[in-house]
Chain A
Amino acid sequence: MNIAASPQRATEIQNMTRSDTPLVRFQGVRKSFGELEVLKGIDLEVKSGEVVALIGRSGSGKSTALRCVNGLERINAGELTVCGRTLHDGKVDLRDLRQDVGIVFQSYNLFPHLTVEQNVTLAPRKVHRIGAKEARELSDQVLAQVGLSDKAKNYPEQLSGGQQQRVAIARSLAMRPKLILFDEVTSALDPELTGEVLRVIAKLAAEGMTMMLVTHEMAFARSVADQIVFMHQGRIWESGKGDMLEDPQTPELRQFVGNGL
């Protein structure tokens, strides 16, 4: 059993058993929006190759925690280290950080005026300065990874929501990130399209990509995540392996999975 009774205990156990430096480390991270404190001291580690699922009610702070990782939100207190960079001292070069940390949004946010291929290769061409030929090869490669090789010349509006989201994943992959953040990426999709997107994410997980995902897909979190983190009222309420969902230690998680399943 590695279900910890308290969040602190969970972190301690992890620190004892794993020695390699984590890709992401939250230590007492706090974040407020005005008067409202959304994160009330988060401790969390994500190791290379690990898949961490953040679950919890809307407003529990899970999306905010995720958005702190690539600097979309700036933390107010505590320490946050991502891919060897410290995000709490205000000195981090966000563009540098974001070359290592990709993100996929709920609303896809594809560039509507560009083709699928142009969407995927825009950042590599501008940021990594790769040439046209290399860009085409890269596009072929990442679109194959998400099963959309035949859509390179299409525009986003010609694709289904699930396909658009897979393009967004491909766009993120094209930057060769060390870590990808998924922010409720299937919340806007019907069950069938959700399935096609989750299959792509599961495949990436199997290939060893490090990922943090905020999700409401409990079954998916259970099968794919190495670590599940249940957040409640700005705190990590409970965390552990997939089977923790079957044996909730707190009434809050019990209620949450009871309603969710």
Chain B
Amino acid sequence: MRGCALSYEFDFSFLNDYLPELWHGIWLTLGMTVVSIVPGFALGTGCAVGRLYGPPWVQRLVTIYVEGIRNTPLIIQVFWLFFGLAVLQVRVGPFPAAVIALVINVGAYTAEIMRAGLQSIPKGQLEAAACLALKPSQSLWSVQIPQAVERVYPALVSQFVLMMLATSIMSQISAEELTGVAYMIQSFTFRGFEVYLVIAGIYLVMSCLLRLTLLGVAQVSFPRRRRLGTPL
């Protein structure tokens, strides 16, 4: 390939030479994303419920957690966790450390999304559930949370895609995910432009795949929507 203006010669031969490393990076990125989604969602939902219905001290605690996380950079949280655990003599590998940081981070954002979802449910629903002698926990589990999740699902999907893109800083604690691999390749080949072009393409494909997968999860989880196609 020949670029005319800059007479720059594109060289994608690194794709062949570093294929195993690239695959490894892709798997690590996908791995830490997929592993973090379910616990992150559970943590966030728990916090949303705690902030709405918990005793005052729980509400305060959740507020501190949510605002603390949402108002500091992820990379600082990751360092803080990674080195903090080391100080406490807890030995954690880069991958588990990255996952813990992601869960804590996405949990805070999910908490706010789910809080909005729970608050959007008409009061009559809660009244009806209570009048049917359901316990508050049963009402939450069977009436409120399913409706809240369906209502805020698009926002949750965006948040999880953002989280996957945010894993690109994890090489800072030597979790060699895709961006870390890219950095390594370009430092050996000096083909930074090509490398990051390819990496951007890979992220794009992975984001689309993640979105598609989460849409598939919605199809299975929301039978009403599958049948009627209308918003709740």
Contact = CB atoms under 8 A, between A and B. Distances in A.
Partners in one complex: yes
A126 B142 contact: yes
A157 B124 CA distance: 16
Interface in B103-156: 122, 124-125, 127-135, 138, 142-143, 146-147, 150
Contact of B132 (A96, A107, A115, A127): A127
B224 A122 contact: no
B39 to A, nearest CB: 24
A175 B131 CA distance: 11
Interface of A: 70, 72, 94-96, 98-99, 102-103, 105, 107, 109-115, 122-123, 126-127, 155, 157-158, 171, 175
B125 A102 contact: no
A127 B137 CA distance: 12
Contacts, number: 66
B149 to A, nearest CB: 9
Given A126-B138, A155-B224, A109 B124 contact: yes
A123 B133 CA distance: 7
Given A95-B135, A98-B133, A105 B128 contact: yes
23 contacts: A96-B133, A102-B131, A103-B131, A107-B124, A109-B127, A111-B125, A111-B128, A111-B129, A111-B142, A111-B143, A112-B147, A113-B150, A113-B222, A122-B132, A122-B134, A123-B132, A126-B135, A127-B132, A127-B134, A155-B227, A157-B228, A175-B132, A175-B133
Interface residues of B, number: 24
Given A111-B125, A111-B142, A158-B228, 11 more contacts: A72-B127, A95-B133, A96-B133, A109-B125, A109-B127, A111-B129, A111-B147, A112-B224, A127-B133, A155-B228, A157-B230
Give 6 nearest A-B pairs by CB, closest first.
Answer: A123-B132, A109-B128, A109-B124, A98-B133, A95-B133, A99-B133
A2 B122 CA distance: 44
A122 B228 contact: no
Interface string B52-69: 000000000000000000
B143 A72 contact: no
